[in-house]
Structure 1
Amino acid sequence: MAVKINGRSLRKSLKEYARGIAGGLLFSFPLLYTMEVWWAGFVAEPQDLLVLVIVTYLLLLGYNKFAGMHPDASWPSVFIDSIEEMGIGLLISFVVLLMLNRIQLSGMMIDELMGKLIIEAMAVSIGVSIGTAQLGAEAYEEKKERDNERPSLRDSKRALFVLGLCGAIVIGGNAAPTEEIVMIALEASPDHVFAMALGSLLLSIIVVYFSDFRGTSGLSSKNLVYNMTFDTCLSYLTALGASAFILWFFGRFDGVSFWVGFSQVIVLGVLASLGASAGRLLIK
């Protein structure tokens, strides 16, 4: 009798875990090597870490329900899958940070160790979720057949928002902790900020409607102007919201004027908007 894990065979579960580990490393290695993230873990307050864990878990729930390996699964199964992915993210982060000598098992305060581990693990867990669902050829064929049989949950605006948010955080999160975002914002004039905002909008339109990415072929030409306007605004606002949250978490708004904070959001929004628009097409 085959051993089953969460309703799946042991062999299939091990394959999914392997894809999850690969995805976690693929999408989060830059953060694991970023000094600003280590410092954020050192100074993070417990309530900030709790907020990060809750937001990440909600994001995983949405992703696993709309675009994960088992979109037909019940909510209890989605809850379990999300917890598993966070657990894998914690394990990967612990091993990598220990290997890089960024955490020590002795001589390091527990607050610093847990802060670094949790911040890194939350980013890794999103990569784990994406990798589990996206990196397997067998999984891709199964999902393609299932989507051809009936309308997909991924076609709803709510799903597009969740997938766009995942893409924005994965792409934007790699640059948000760095000093370069602050430097660009401080040196940018209003003309530069306006150009970045306009460029982000144009990039979103190009990616979703004119790039011929996988996932764009089904876009209807009916009401094209309305759909283009709505989808672009939704994608960009999602990117700006994700950018603002990430920058807030890393303390980039502390002690700066409104203009500098606003400029940072627009600067990071260039990357996040690419993640929001391309991500919702590519991580399906």
Structure 2
Amino acid sequence: MEQATPQSSAESAPQPARRGEPVAVPLDNRQFLVGLGRAFAGALIFTLPMLMTMEMWWLGFYMQPLRIALLLVLTLPILVALSRFGGFRRTADLAGDVADALVAIVVAAVAAAATLSIFGVVGPQMSLSEAIGKLVLQIPSGALGAMLARSQLGGQSQDRSEEPVSYAGELFLMGVGALFLSFNVAPTEEMVLIAYKMTVWQELTLLAATLLLMHALVYAVNFRGGTPDAHMAGALLKFTIPGYAIVLLVSLTVLWLFGRLDGLSTEEGLSAGIVLAFPGGVGAALARLIL
């Protein structure tokens, strides 16, 4: 028998990918099914409060179709970007991230349809447009839960969470963290009611308390974007203040999409945004733990 020479063995061995080249991720059916199962579990865990909230059922009936479509349009790029940080399976390139995002949307739709059907919220007795509206409104939150299934439910594929994240990536994760906690309460009428009952000084106090809480949590979590800051003042300027601006923008956008800003003045709408920014700010500050 011929023995392989060291040179031929070296030539036949797999060569490591060059720096900057995408690493191929072998497709394993079992791993994919496990990831898919985690995706269904994540979708159900994250969207269950909204599936059992009456405001979400009514929003699907009277919410403007343009806003529903816009909500879905905004969801896709967020899921694609999030797949780089916490998809339910490892992906090698943009095509894999897009595929993961589409799978997450399908998983969310199936989970919502099955759950709402069991609850008797959707069924053959209602019009097709009403049923679709109720289902579509559940897709963004369910898809987000499916995409976060890996970091939320664990698994061997969590190794990507240890990779370095850019400063822009950290700010993006803060925005997703804000969505993670604020999306469940944004459709409710309590956000506007609380804002209506608060005085200007109470709103300013809530804003300051949100900033203080975010700052303490951001510094405690020790975000890894760029060079770590040695002082809390650095974290304040680098993460807390920009993070709160992102949280407030996310809060106002979500409130507008759900129609909670309709008929309100600019001051009243901003007050509702400050109220919603409180849970959103906590989610943004803890994005590194949540995601």
TM-score range, shorter chain: 0.7 to 0.9
1:235 corresponds to which of 243, 262, 268: 243
**Cα deviation code 1:53-85 (max 9, x no counterpart):** 111111101111234356662111111110000
1:80 aligns with 2:99: yes
Greater Rg, structure 1 or structure 2? 2
Q: 1:23 to 1:219 in 2, by over 3 A?
A: farther
Whole-angstrom CA distance in 1 between matches of 2:176 and 2:278: 15
Q: Which runs of 5+ in 2 are unaligned?
A: 1-24
1:120 aligns with 2:138: yes
1:263 corresponds to which of 233, 248, 271: 271
Q: Percent identity?
A: 28
Q: How many residues align?
A: 267
Offset of residue 214 of structure 1: 8.1
Give the alignment's Cα RMSD to 1 decimal: 2.2
SS in 2 for 1:8: coil
TM-score between both structures, scaled by the size of structure 2: 0.85
1:186 corresponds to which of 184, 192, 196: 196
Q: Which runs of 5+ in 1 are unaligned?
A: 1-5
Whole-angstrom CA distance in 1 between matches of 2:229 and 2:264: 45
Q: 1:270 to 1:180 in 2, by over 3 A?
A: same
Contact 2:87 2:148 in 1 (8 A): yes
Contact 1:64 1:82 in 2 (8 A): yes
Offset of residue 222 of structure 1: 3.7
1:103 aligns with 2:122: yes
Offset of residue 283 of structure 1: 3.6
Contact 1:24 1:125 in 2 (8 A): yes
1:245 corresponds to which of 253, 262, 268: 253
**Cα deviation code 1:212-271 (max 9, x no counterpart):** x4867x972446523332200121111111111110011111111222111100000000
Q: 1:164 to 1:79 in 2, by over 3 A?
A: same
**Cα deviation code 1:74-99 (max 9, x no counterpart):** 11111111000000000000001111
2:171 corresponds to which of 143, 156, 161: 161
TM-score between both structures, scaled by the size of structure 1: 0.87
Whole-angstrom CA distance in 2 between matches of 1:179 and 1:65: 34
The corresponding residue for 2:7 is none
Note the 1:199-238 alignment, pairs <5 A. 199-210=209-220, 213=221, 220-222=228-230, 224-238=232-246
Contact 1:19 1:136 in 2 (8 A): no
SS in 1 for 2:148: helix
